[in-house]
């Protein structure tokens, strides 16, 4: 999935616009305009992978921004790998996306509510499923980060890897979008629990944060606000000596 460590720009979509939220809280976001234009900009700056999220879908369970996100896939999917999550709840949802050019679907709430979904999709689409484990106060949360599950992220990651997940996306919700820096201990626990790539997300504010997550064993890091706000350039992150 990631032959070399990558910095993956996020294109989070709410109400048809590219946004970045703080701590996943509605109303805290900054809007960055047209998602297709945002995706094109990251590709032009050298992104090898894009992380797309339907934020409305994550909260409502329905893929509210499906059309605009597929516009993004159609615009850049032949040049970069694309992983997409948010509101993907069924086999049919996931299969449609994977058949339409999405390289990997990201399952969060659906994976927690129906773990067998991961197994079925992994069998039909090897390498096509990433499980998203979003942690708040050390607990996996779902439904747009609004509901606790009682699950430990590292233990859950190991179970999904056994079910065939090609990777785990671990998001530290407590620092997501805050530009306050990363916390590597939780990332390292997840990395140590699985043999599949772990994609880290949440709190990245500097190139040193990127370096720290690489040091914790992450195969890639998803970055949103720090890139949109110009805290560092994608090219500098790509060329970072690790």
Assess whether 74 carries a catalytic annotation: no
Q: Are strands 198-201 and 167-172 parallel, antiparallel or unpaired?
A: parallel
Considering the candidates 54, 56, 103, 134, report the single residue annotated as catalytic.
Answer: 134
Residues 152-171: tens digit of each pLDDT: 999 999 999 999 999 999 99
CB-based contact 141:134 (threshold 8 Å):
yes
- What is the number of other CB atoms lying within 10 angstroms of the CB of residue 40? 15
Assess whether 78 carries a catalytic annotation: no
Residues 88-139: tens digit of each pLDDT: 999 999 999 999 999 999 999 999 999 999 999 999 999 999 999 999 988 9
CB-based contact 77:70 (threshold 8 Å):
no
pLDDT at 24: 62
Considering the candidates 12, 93, 103, 209, report the single residue annotated as catalytic.
Answer: 12
């Amino acid at each position: 999935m990631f032959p070399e460590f990558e910095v993956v720009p996020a294109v989070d979509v709410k109400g048809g616009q590219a946004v970045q939220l703080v701590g996943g809280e509605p109303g805290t976001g900054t809007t960055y305009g047209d998602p297709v234009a945002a995706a094109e900009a990251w590709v032009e700056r050298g992104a090898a992978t894009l992380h797309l999220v339907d934020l409305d879908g994550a909260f409502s369970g329905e893929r509210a921004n499906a059309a605009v996100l597929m516009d993004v896939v159609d615009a850049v999917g032949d040049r970069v790998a694309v992983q997409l999550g948010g509101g993907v709840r069924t086999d049919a949802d996931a299969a449609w996306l994977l058949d339409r050019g999405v390289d990997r679907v990201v399952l969060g709430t659906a994976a927690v509510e129906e773990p067998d979904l991961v197994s079925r999709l992994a069998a039909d689409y090897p390498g096509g499923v990433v499980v998203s484990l979003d942690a708040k106060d050390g607990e996996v949360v779902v439904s747009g980060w609004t509901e606790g599950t009682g699950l430990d992220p590292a233990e859950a990651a190991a179970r999904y890897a056994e079910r065939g997940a090609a990777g785990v996306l671990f998001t530290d919700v407590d620092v997501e979008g805050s530009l306050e820096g990363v916390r590597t201990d939780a990332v390292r626990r997840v990395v140590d629990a699985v043999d599949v790539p772990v994609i880290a997300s949440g709190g990245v504010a500097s190139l040193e944060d990127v370096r720290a997550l690489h040091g914790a064993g992450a195969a890639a890091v998803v970055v949103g606000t720090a890139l949109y706000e110009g805290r560092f350039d994608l090219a500098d992150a790509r060329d970072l000596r690790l």
